[in-house]
Structure 1
Amino acid sequence: MAARIREELARRRMSRQMLADIAKISISTLEKALNGSRPFTVASVVRLEAALGVSLRDRVPKVSTSRSDLGGYAKAGVAWLEGDYLTLRPSFEVAGAIYAYRTQIHWDEAQECLAFREMDRLDAPFSQKGVVSIPSKSGQIYLYTNDQGQMRVAILNRPHIRGEIYGLLATLAVGAGSNLTPVAAPIALLPWPGIGNPKLGRIQQGDAEYQDCRKHLTMIVDAGYAKLLT
């Protein structure tokens, strides 16, 4: 603030005494504030701003944070989670097959939180989108969808050292006829830049990618990232 005042004085070719007179503060108060021996008081700053016609107080930039029910996390603190992920889960229609698609996590300025959306799904009309919750208490990551009261959630662990994210998905699958059936399944999100140009859609036994994709899903329970109880 002192540097800014000295700059304004030099620009205007104004003496310190003249500024003190216009601002109606003592020259002693101004001198001591400018040399750092006395802090600026709020009253002095207000008067100096009026005399110079400028704002001397730095404006603190707004820190973007999510709402409290999503964990109250700061935008800068979750930038590491943003990006595209190859998403793997068991196929609900074909036994033994793996379903692969892209999930994008990004900061949504309108909602002021991390959001996610699924892309490149075979069943595109059923692609999900929603918000990301990261509460500090549990340390988990939640991908949460609420579509007119119909909910779906993926509960994920923090990323592995190479960026892989493992967890469980609770959602609905097409059952008998047009009925929807609750289903829980392991789910893996692999950082897109690290896996090249992956195959999307249904991956079945015999496909070149099958064993590697299956390894990511089986380790979720085997390595203790999640538990499936019956």
Structure 2
Amino acid sequence: MQMQDKLSDRQLSDEQSREVAETIREEIARRRISRQALAEQAKLSLSTLEKALGGRRPFTLATTVRLEQALGVSLRKSIVAPAPAVGNDVAPDSLGSYSHRAVTWIEGVYITLRPSFGDKDAIFAYRTEIVWEPRVSSLVFREGERTDTAYEHTGEVAVPHQSGFIYLVINKHGQHRVITVSRPTVSGAMYGIISTLRAGAGSQLTPVAAPIAYVPARIIADPAVGRISPDHANYKLYRDHLRRTVDDSFALFLPA
């Protein structure tokens, strides 16, 4: 019995916890249920669920099993799958065949800026981390501190030599979101275009493209996140970064 208790209390790795959290957020958004309702169904406290989804506490095996039973889906695909061979520091050809050493200058924490899809006068800001992931031998990006946590994503980073641009790609069951940005400037910022779906009323989704900027968090005195309105202290700084996308021809938006 003690051995079973120890196994149930086993904590998932940080990467496994992130994957479980992302799947849960997707299921919550798809089913349109509250976190409180899910916590009650899984017989967990809302505080435990919130901390795990927010990355402040790793998931345990026992908690994961309860959530699987409540949702009726498997949350442990990557846990039981065999891990890729470790030691290869070259990304696959589909991502540009780059070596880890060649892209270390892209790694870091960024404040991501784009226009708010819900308020035409506001700027939406959140945190993005780009790191090398040995398990998949490539750079990956992880979004966090979004006010719409159900839409936080983790994806692959392609750095092809031919175009000179960087692609942050999400492919979830065939549904793609693609972000195309420039190589980092002298300050380390990257500018480009996000192509995604905008959530509307009910289940309505609309394709949308918008300028986007990745600004190193280290060069912002107060890296605020969330919906930044015109009266916010960071608004002008964030707006100037977004405007650079078009003003400095990092990207073009052609008229119809």
Say yes or no: TM over 0.5: yes
| In 2: Cα distance, 1:169 partner to 1:112 partner | 24
Distance 1:198 1:162 in 2: 15
Segments of structure 2 that go 5 or more residues without pairing to the other structure are 1-86
Q: Pairwise mapping of residues 131-170 of structure 1 onto structure 2 (< 5 A)?
A: 131-170=156-195
Q: Which runs of at least 4 in structure 1 moved beyond 4 Å after TM superposition? A: none
Deviations 1:110-146 (A, max 9, x none): 1110000100000011011100000000010000000
- Equivalent position of 2:252 in the other structure: 227
Deviation at 1:176, TM superposition (A): 3.5
Aligned letter for 2:165? Q
Of the candidates 78, 89, 95, which is equivalent to residue 64 of structure 1?
89
Corresponding residue for 1:180? 205
1:101 is matched with which residue? 126
One-letter code aligned to 1:227: L
Q: Is the 8 A contact 2:88 2:137 kept in 1?
A: no
TM-score (norm 1): 0.72
Does 1:92 pair with 2:92? Answer: no
Letter in 2 for 1:139: G
Structure 2 Cα separation of the partners of residues 198 and 97 of structure 1: 16
Counterpart residue identity of residue 226, structure 1: A
3-state DSSP class of the match of 2:94? Answer: helix
Output the TM-score relative to the length of structure 2. Answer: 0.64
Alignment counterpart, residue 155 of structure 2, candidates 122, 125, 130 = 130
Q: Offset of 1:196 from its aligned partner? A: 3.2
Is the Cα–Cα contact under 8 Å of residues 164 and 183 in structure 2 kept in the other structure? yes
Q: 2:243 aligns with which of 209, 212, 218?
A: 218
CA displacement, residues 26-50 of structure 1 (integer Å, 9 cap, x when unaligned): xxxxxxxxxxxxxxxxxxxxxxxxx
SS of structure 2 residue aligned to 1:206: coil
**Pick from 127, 130, 136: which aligns with 1:111?**
136
Instruction: Report if aligned partners of 1:63, 1:75 keep a CA contact under 8 Å in 2.
Output: no
Task: State the shift of 1:222 in Å.
Answer: 1.4
Distance in 1 (alpha carbons) for counterparts of 2:158 and 2:210: 20
- For residues 221 and 135 of structure 2, what CA distance do their matches in structure 1 show? 31
Structure 1: tracts of 5 or more residues without a match:
1-61
Q: Report the AA paired with residue 78 of structure 1.
A: V
Opposite residue 141 of structure 1, the aligned amino acid is I
Q: Does 1:199 align with 2:210?
A: no
Alignment partner for residue 171 of structure 1, among 159, 175, 196? 196
CA contact (8 A) 2:189 2:216 kept: yes
Q: Could you tell me how far apart the structure 1 residues matched to 2:224 and 2:157 are?
A: 26
d(CA) in 1 for partners of 2:228, 2:181: 22
Match for 1:161: what amino acid?
A: V
For 1:133 and 1:197, the matched residues in 2 are separated by: 30
> Residue 77 of structure 1 corresponds to which residue in structure 2?
102
Kindly provide the amino acid, as one letter, of the partner of residue 121 in structure 1.
Answer: R
Question: Which amino acid is the alignment partner of residue 223 of structure 2?
Answer: P
Instruction: Give secondary structure in 1 for the equivalent of 2:230.
Output: coil
Q: Which residue of 1 aligns with 2:71?
A: none
Larger Rg: 1
